[in-house]
């Protein structure tokens, strides 16, 4: 028995793939999904900084990395944690507006 479809098979495969990804993503956990490995070049693009900046941070051991031979590699999940730990908290707005007035001098 042969099944025939009246739809574009590439489109059908793409839709099936998307649905399978949605279904297994919670099962894999965030770590497995976001476990991309960056090179210096790809990490520089990801962070929007220069390659030199990346090399300086690895030399000073300020950024988490591993070495494969002589090549530094960066795990996306660790970089994201590092970024989160570097967050600067936002300031809360003042509860009341400041009033500017004349300064009264006492003498």
Mean pLDDT of the chain: 82
Query: What pLDDT score was predicted for residue 65?
Result: 96
Per-residue pLDDT at 15: 86
Place of tokens 């500017």: 100
| Residue 49 Rama label (left phi>0; alpha psi -120 to 50; beta) | beta
Alpha helices in the chain (DSSP H): 9-33, 40-47, 51-59, 76-85
pTM for this structure? 0.55
SS3 67: strand
Distance CA(52)–CA(60), nearest Å, equals 12
pLDDT at 89: 80
How far is Cα 60 from Cα 53, in angstroms, rounded to an integer? 11
Helix count and strand count (H, E) for the chain: 4, 3
Q: Identify any residues that bridge with 74 across adjacent strands, giving them in sequence order.
A: 38
DSSP helix/strand/coil, 26 = helix
Can you tell me the mean pLDDT for 6-20?
Answer: 81
User: 60-103, pLDDT tens digit by residue?
Assistant: 999 999 999 999 999 999 999 999 998 888 787 766 555 665 66
The pLDDT tens digits for 26-57 are: 776 655 555 899 999 999 999 999 999 999 99
CATH number of 30-84: 1.10.10
């Amino acid at each position: 028995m042969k099944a025939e479809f009246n739809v574009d098979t590439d489109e059908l495969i793409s839709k099936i793939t998307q649905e399978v990804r949605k279904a297994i993503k919670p099962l894999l956990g965030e770590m497995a999904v976001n476990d991309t490995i960056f090179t210096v070049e790809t990490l520089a693009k990801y962070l929007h900084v220069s390659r030199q900046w990346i090399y300086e941070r690895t030399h000073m051991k300020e950024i988490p990395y591993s070495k494969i031979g002589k090549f530094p590699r960066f795990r996306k999940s660790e970089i994201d944690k590092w970024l989160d730990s570097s967050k600067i908290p936002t300031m809360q707005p003042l509860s009341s507006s400041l009033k500017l007035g004349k300064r009264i001098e006492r003498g």
